[in-house]
Amino acid sequence: MEDDELQAIRAKRMAELQAQSGKSSGGSGGFGGSPMGGAGGAGSGASGSQDDSEKKQQMEDMRRNMLFQILDNNARERLARINMVKADKARAVEDLLIRLAQSNQLRNKVSEQQLIDLLGQINQQEPSASQTKIVYNRRRFDDDSDDDYDL
């Protein structure tokens, strides 16, 4: 029952955000079509970038809210630590979790252990060429440079 309510709330919020973004993009489109000349185009470009930044901010807020609903506290902390070290990997995990939640494949909140398992699966899927390889070049005993001077 809670899942149905949660889905209804998500759908309602998504519809609200889409309606807001539709109104803001429709308004900037009206400015672009006006016969104001160069000055009108410059004004619409500034408001367009402002609309874009507002839209991005709304998307990030929605993303954060979804992750808050998907992850429990320990998993959220771990993902935040991963984000500090490898932001691209954390973003990929977040995207995957959101996709799983939207397709109703997640029944409960994701625990820290489930997040660790998910990270392990993602690491196995990546090609091994991206792994760091360390090579040690050690001097040999008979390759001593002090012998060259016969001191």
Does the pTM exceed 0.75?
no
Q: What pLDDT was estimated at residue 45?
A: 59
Residues 91-109: pLDDT tens digits? 989 998 999 888 988 888 9
pLDDT of residue 7 exceeding 90: no
Burial of residue 4, with CB atoms counted within 10 A of its CB: 0-12 exposed, 13-18 middle, 19 or more buried: exposed
Cβ-based neighbour number of residue 149 at 10 Å: 6
**Helix, strand, or coil (residue 141):** coil
- Four-CA torsion 103, 104, 110, 116, nearest 10 degrees: -40
Lowest mean pLDDT among 39-53, 81-95, 101-115, 131-145: 39-53
pLDDT of residue 144 exceeding 60: no
